[in-house]
Structure 1
Amino acid sequence: MNSTRLQYQLSLHCWQQHLFAVTLTVPKHDAQLLTFSLPSWIPGSYMVRDFAKNIVEIEFCQFETGHKVAFEKCDKQTWLVHSSGDALVVKYIVHANDLSVRSAFINHQYAFINGTSAFLNVKEMQHLPCELSIAPPPKASWKAHTSMSPINHDNSPEQWQFYSESYAEFIDHPIFIGECETYRFDVQGITFDLLFSGHQNIDKARIAEDLTPICEHHLQLFGAPHPISRYLFMTLLADNGFGGLEHRNSTALLYPRYELPLVGEDKGHKTDGYITFLSLCSHELFHTWHVKRIKPEVMVAPQLQEETYTNQLWIYEGFTSFYDDVTLARAGVIDGEKYLDIVAQNLTRLLQNAGRFKQSAAQSSFDAWTKFYKQDASATNNIVSYYTKGGIIAFGLDLLLRKHTDNRVSLDNVMKVLWERYGRDEIGTPDDVIARICQDHFDIDISEYLNAVVYGTDDVPLERWLDDIGLALHTRTAVSADDKGGKTAFAGIRHQFGANYKPATLGLTVTQVFEGLSAAQAGVMVNDTLLAINDEIVTAVKLQRLLDNATTDTVKITVIRDGQLINLTLAVIEARKDRAFFTIEDNDKFNTWLARA
């Protein structure tokens, strides 16, 4: 036993029952009482998840004798042990059946484990180095992958061993054990590894080719020396599902397997699903600098047993949401027209979002723990996304800075200062960091802008500056309920129902009702089954056709609610223009802005 390290062993106890086992060996120490705990949330995902609820068995024993040691569980995630300074062995079993990037999951093909879901913290020893040994997996074809530093560089098939300098670092390296495909490429001296779970004939070389200029962009933006020497894109492939979570030297992604390009497919065409995957990779890699190292003061050493509040998430997720897409266009992975359609879709989400007038981006950041991460069908009417509005705020700030300085200063310059001033040494940013940087470094007062669009609920006034980069912003009516915004050649609808829905056995099930529109005024509610308009049974297509061709000011709608038939009166009103799109008015101006990195 190493007397200067916490030693963890991870093994797959029973993959059929989604169980893994952990053995933690604690060296001799001076403390009479040891505090063991599991985090209740994972950095980057701001919701209390109570990971300790998945510990189904636990015991504490003396290291030398094997005798059990009494313990007290003092809350949902904390165990107290009177150790008398003796070395201890803690053995516990964890249930892992959450197919997401935030927790742990085991199936027939692989095991995925976040450290926050698996590894107990010893409060009195949390600054000690941590050593991890992974026991031989149940299947010979399974391999282990993580961005953690290896102890044995030969990656022995019998056992894998890894090392971290502290508990905080230890839990920031997700672990994959199972069947997978990998691909390695180098960018500016950094080794990038792609990992895809299972065997799906994914065109890994093509993905690496498209990711290379994206990686180059981020590395160039923040400059050398780089904080990483190796980076792992770890992708869990599933039939459905979407997610990404940043880590210090890696990211964990969840993505539909058939949205990615397969070997032999046409390389000249990128589907929307594939573009979204590249943008997701861009987003999480950007977090290597902007979240994992540049971070709010309260997130430098957060307490993972309870919520840690900040109103700065609009800076961190919002700015990253701006850069994830614009990087694809700057790098030539998508063209300018496609990029503008993506921005237009983000604006469209805001235009449909009445909650943007009730909650500011700063408030959205602070309330992420409840209102953003625990959304229900009413969310669009009551909250705003710090991702979506934050990205538009970043776009507007870039244009404002260029306007004030005749293109000498852009958001890129702000990011560079953020990195040099706060990120390299990870000292944490104050709430007013963006205003402070713009004033102190560039002599630009942006307080009026921030007060209006960040701390207030004003829309970002993009129209003030778009002409400077050769663009014009327009709005139009929707083509259909599935219309996400952007340019289209199809005619828009005439009349708007004002709710989202999905097919039911008969009729349509209402999933969302938009404040202020006809459906809400008529009294339509979420989970109603919409059966008919003027006694005509409806489908999604028929509903819109009947509305568009209505010749009266109102129509009768029939719904089923709680087992009862209810007739309501729906006003037939002109569809609002809530789908955004851009036109390029000056290609030279736009291309100049887009090319600037």
Structure 2
Amino acid sequence: MSSSVPVIEYTLAVDSISEHLFHIEMRIPPLNETLLEVSLPAWIPGSYMIRDFARHIVELNAYGKKGALLTCSKVDKQSWAIQNPSAEAIVIRYKVFAFDLSVRSAYISDEYAFCNGTSVFLNINHADSFRYQLEIDLQQLPESWHLHTSMPALMGKDKSNHFACDSYLEFIDHPIFIGQCQSASFTAGGVKFTVLFSGTNPIDIERICADLKPICLHHIELFADEPPISSYLFITLLSDKGYGGLEHLNSTALLFPRFDLPLVGEDKQNQNSYITFLSLCSHEFFHTWNVKRIKPEELIKPDLHAEVYTHQLWVYEGFTSFFDELALVRTNLISPQKYIELLAENITKVIQTTGRLKQSVAESSFDAWTRFYKQDANSSNHIVSYYVKGGLIALALDLLIREQSNNQYSLDDLMRLLWQQHGKPGVGTVNNSILLLCKREFNIDIKDFIDNVVYGTKDVPLTQLLHIAGLSLHQRTNAKDSDKDKSEIDKLTLEKELGMRVKNMECGIIVQQVTSGLAACQAGVQINDRIIALNGYEINETLFRRLMQTTTEKSLPMVIIRDGRVLNLSLPVTEAQKNNYYLKIENESIFSSWLSTSR
């Protein structure tokens, strides 16, 4: 970068742990401008919802020559105009309230301080040619607190708390962690990985590193090229119940329950919660290629002040969801049987979502801002997940490519093409990029498939394709008596359909979700109804299901409380749908061959 490029300098400090405040100083050089406008992003890349981070800014002031206070006025919800009559250097000082325990924002607790750049670093509006430097002030912090970030160090500085980036989009794409933590490192595929867990819980970090190493190597080798990173940082914020992940250029921020991870001294069994964590890590690291570098044309230089719409999230989240679990079985971290159980769970999730018949995954991608990221109790009746159905589309596309190319190509090859022709040269994908690549590179026409399952609402044709992987798909009602991991309540839902999700209350059960067209919907049950009696008996969730499963009546009287009114309804007794799916391995040899990494 030329030395003539103006540099905007920031200092980030933890102002108050107890009040959850960051203090930021932003120093802007003379720009021959008498009016400057600065703003904070409204959303963070990878999480497609307007979050209005600027609402957490407090005490913002701007200063000019010799510390003179400059006139500063709010332009809109996220922008400030600063009067600078002398066109001199400006210093802006402000504080950010940081108490959002998530991977998307900023959070300060007694254990650590965490932030994304989108939450704390103002930028000059319409600024395209600046360099960004950051100093993180570590004074006045507990000695046990340590700094971790993936941001490149500032050349020429002998301190470990100075960093620099050549663009604002890069600058805000490096989350910052300062606090108590455990960390360890390993190397895979020529990349140095650092794994960090907040707090001091006795996490078995050596085991986690040993399990993450083959996953990371799998992804690097899948793209068959020099990795676009030399180092990578896994930041895991441990909490009581939280869950989430957000991808960055060469790091990820994760949120996970602290006691759902293996602890030092525990046996080596892969409990389901730990498999979920490994899948989450796999998912976010795969994003290093698929969405951080291979990305939709609309997201190459996104406007961070407003929604940026694309129909392509089914490719970026769906394909990534397919590979995150596939990597676990390919690296022997889970068994083939466990893998097909996970696949079956995803098939069941999609089929049990009636919204799949009303919304396509392309529409789901486009509407992520207002529908997918703002779900309510009725969402399953009118939307479909571009993550889960997108993952099934990826599976079907892999099988389709293999079938039509006589097993010469696979989805692995398609990912490499996306990297070489789009990610590596920085060329964004368009709506028909997958279609064009398959036609041009594999001589395969997938237009009907794409029209039906991506832009249409037809189900993914797995029944017709799974034989290519040596599998077969089967249906049943909710569970089998032999399912060891099902609760007693789940085992009761074998014969009769409820059509709603409920939760026990001190008196009766509360309705959390009603499925369109099924028994509860037919009865006129609504979300937040409290059911207090069925067939003349006061009920809880278990008794409610027992009475439904054992009755020979065609309907049962039900007493509910709705907004303070007592109502009598009649609940139809109908046969349970066979919408729970499971897979069988029909041909071990074909299945093993399909699971293997590419040719």
Q: Structure 2-normalised TM-score? A: 0.96
User: Aligned residue for 2:35?
Assistant: 33
User: Aligned residue for 1:99?
Assistant: 101
Matches of 1:164 and 1:427, distance apart in 2: 21
DSSP-derived class of the 1:472 partner: strand
Aligned runs of 1:383-402 on 2, under 5 Å? 383-402=383-402
Any conservation in 2 of the 1:3–1:27 contact (CA below 8 Å)?
no
User: Aligned residue for 1:325?
Assistant: 325
Letter in 1 for 2:387: Y
Q: 1:215 to 1:123 in 2, by over 3 A?
A: same
Letter in 2 for 1:289: W
How far 1:114 moved relative to its partner?
Answer: 0.5
User: Aligned residue for 2:444?
Assistant: 444
User: Aligned residue for 1:310?
Assistant: 310
How far 1:122 moved relative to its partner?
Answer: 1.2
Structure 1: gaps of 5 or more residues:
none
DSSP-derived class of the 1:81 partner: strand
Structure 2: gaps of 5 or more residues:
none
Aligned runs of 1:432-511 on 2, under 5 Å? 432-479=432-479, 493-511=494-512
Matches of 1:562 and 1:330, distance apart in 2: 52
1:130 to 119, 128, 132: 132
Matches of 2:226 and 2:442, distance apart in 1: 24
Any conservation in 2 of the 1:3–1:28 contact (CA below 8 Å)?
no
Any conservation in 1 of the 2:478–2:491 contact (CA below 8 Å)?
no
Letter in 2 for 1:33: L
User: Aligned residue for 2:52?
Assistant: 50
Matches of 1:246 and 1:389, distance apart in 2: 20
Q: What does the per-residue CA deviation read over 1:381-415, in whole Å, with 9 as the maximum and x for residues that have no partner?
A: 00001001100000000000101011101111110
User: Aligned residue for 2:15?
Assistant: 13
Any conservation in 1 of the 2:479–2:494 contact (CA below 8 Å)?
yes
Matches of 2:158 and 2:567, distance apart in 1: 66
Matches of 2:71 and 2:339, distance apart in 1: 60
How far 1:4 moved relative to its partner?
Answer: 3.1
How far 1:579 moved relative to its partner?
Answer: 0.9
Any conservation in 2 of the 1:172–1:248 contact (CA below 8 Å)?
yes
User: Aligned residue for 1:111?
Assistant: 113
Matches of 2:416 and 2:217, distance apart in 1: 15
Q: What does the per-residue CA deviation read over 1:273-329, in whole Å, with 9 as the maximum and x for residues that have no partner?
A: 000000000000000000000000110000000000000000100110101111111
Moved more, 228-237 or 1-10: 1-10
DSSP-derived class of the 1:65 partner: helix
Matches of 1:519 and 1:365, distance apart in 2: 30
User: Aligned residue for 2:151?
Assistant: 148
Matches of 2:417 and 2:484, distance apart in 1: 35
How far 1:226 moved relative to its partner?
Answer: 1.1
Matches of 2:172 and 2:140, distance apart in 1: 21
Q: What does the per-residue CA deviation read over 1:460-518, in whole Å, with 9 as the maximum and x for residues that have no partner?
A: 001111112211101111139xx9999x9968611111100111111111100011110
Q: 1:38 to 1:484 in 2, by over 3 A?
A: farther
Letter in 1 for 2:49: M
Moved more, 556-565 or 92-101: 556-565
Identity %: 48
DSSP-derived class of the 1:8 partner: strand
Matches of 2:20 and 2:6, distance apart in 1: 32
User: Aligned residue for 1:338?
Assistant: 338
Matches of 2:140 and 2:528, distance apart in 1: 46
Q: How many residues align?
A: 591
Matches of 2:166 and 2:155, distance apart in 1: 16
Matches of 1:178 and 1:2, distance apart in 2: 36
User: Aligned residue for 1:175?
Assistant: 176
How far 1:71 moved relative to its partner?
Answer: 2.3
| Aligned Cα root-mean-square deviation (Å) | 2.0
Matches of 2:466 and 2:156, distance apart in 1: 53
Letter in 2 for 1:259: D
Aligned runs of 1:236-385 on 2, under 5 Å? 236-267=237-268, 269-385=269-385
Q: 1:491 to 1:571 in 2, by over 3 A?
A: closer
Q: 1:414 to 1:371 in 2, by over 3 A?
A: same
Letter in 1 for 2:536: D
User: Aligned residue for 1:69?
Assistant: 70
User: Aligned residue for 2:527?
Assistant: 526
Matches of 2:83 and 2:306, distance apart in 1: 24
DSSP-derived class of the 1:149 partner: coil
Any conservation in 1 of the 2:43–2:118 contact (CA below 8 Å)?
yes
Q: 1:336 to 1:534 in 2, by over 3 A?
A: same
**Residue 576 of structure 2 corresponds to residue 575 of structure 1:** yes
Matches of 1:453 and 1:260, distance apart in 2: 37
Q: What does the per-residue CA deviation read over 1:218-260, in whole Å, with 9 as the maximum and x for residues that have no partner?
A: 0001122210000000000000110000000100000000000
How far 1:28 moved relative to its partner?
Answer: 1.4
Matches of 2:67 and 2:156, distance apart in 1: 32
Matches of 1:532 and 1:153, distance apart in 2: 74
Letter in 1 for 2:51: R
Any conservation in 1 of the 2:493–2:549 contact (CA below 8 Å)?
no
Aligned runs of 1:401-412 on 2, under 5 Å? 401-412=401-412
Any conservation in 1 of the 2:479–2:580 contact (CA below 8 Å)?
no
How far 1:596 moved relative to its partner?
Answer: 3.0
**Residue 546 of structure 2 corresponds to residue 566 of structure 1:** no
DSSP-derived class of the 1:465 partner: helix
